[in-house]
């Protein structure tokens, strides 16, 4: 093996590493964007009358998302558990989200993706807290009242 062969092998390894890094960056970027969007939408839709994941609008509960997966076991238990049990459940759910958020980032060491991950983690914490404590949720949205064929909002 001469120096040119070694040089070519090193460049092929570098190209393969670049391709792998680009795939991870694109996948993580898409995952973070989707997770952040779903978390914001769930925060907006989570009202005091939501007791199960299927009580949410269909567009939020049909697709599998990290945010929906985290609050699904929390919603039915929020009303009948004491505060310490809820805090333990919230912590458990939050810790279960960590591996999904950090997958592939150790290979990159990319500060931008890690800062995005931290922003999403903060939003997930807020979502978990609101899901676990119904009194912190938005008030129930008033239903439209029909009067003389015209919708009036109370």
Q: 37-73, pLDDT tens digit by residue?
A: 999 998 888 887 888 888 888 888 777 888 888 888 8
Candidate from 81-95, 112-126, 127-141 with smallest mean pLDDT: 127-141
Going by pLDDT thresholds of 50, 70 and 90, the confidence category of residue 16 is very high
pLDDT the model gives residue 151: 58
Alpha helices, H only, the chain: 3-45, 58-61, 66-71, 83-102, 111-132
Question: Which positions ≥6 away from 39 have C-beta within 8 Å?
Answer: 67, 120, 123, 124, 127
Alpha helices, H only, 46-110: 58-61, 66-71, 83-102
Is 105 among the domain residues?
Answer: yes
Is 119 among the domain residues?
Answer: yes
Cβ 65 vs Cβ 100: under 8 Å: no
For residue 152, pLDDT over 60 is answered with no
pLDDT the model gives residue 142: 56
Q: How many domains does the chain have?
A: 1
41 lies in which domain range? 28-138
Is 94 among the domain residues?
Answer: yes
Structure tokens at 109: 């060491």
CA angle 99–27–101, rounded 5-degree value: 20
Tokens 């003389």 found at: 148
How many Å apart are CA 9 and CA 3, to the nearest integer? 10
Is 61 among the domain residues?
Answer: yes
pLDDT the model gives residue 111: 74
Q: Give the residue, 154 or 4, on which the prediction is more confident.
A: 4
Can you state the angle between helices 111-132 and 83-102, rounded to 10 degrees? 160
Structure tokens at 42: 């769930």
Does pTM surpass 0.85?
no
pLDDT the model gives residue 139: 67
Cβ 22 vs Cβ 98: under 8 Å: no
Going by pLDDT thresholds of 50, 70 and 90, the confidence category of residue 8 is very high
Other beta carbons less than 10 A from residue 75's beta carbon:
19
């Amino acid at each position: 093996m001469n120096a040119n062969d070694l040089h070519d092998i090193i460049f092929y390894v570098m190209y393969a590493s670049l391709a792998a890094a680009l795939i991870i960056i694109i996948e993580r970027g898409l995952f973070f964007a989707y997770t952040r969007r779903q978390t914001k939408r769930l925060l907006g839709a989570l009202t005091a009358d939501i007791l199960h994941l299927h009580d949410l609008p269909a567009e939020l509960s049909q697709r599998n998302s990290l945010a929906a997966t985290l609050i699904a076991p929390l919603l039915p238990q929020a009303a009948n558990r004491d505060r310490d049990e809820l805090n333990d459940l919230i912590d458990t759910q939050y810790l279960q989200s960590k591996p999904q958020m950090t997958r592939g980032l150790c290979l990159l060491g990319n500060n931008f993706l890690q800062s995005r991950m931290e922003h999403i983690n903060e939003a997930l914490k807020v979502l978990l807290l609101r899901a676990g404590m119904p009194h912190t949720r938005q008030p129930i949205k008033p239903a439209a009242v029909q009067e003389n064929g015209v919708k009036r909002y109370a």
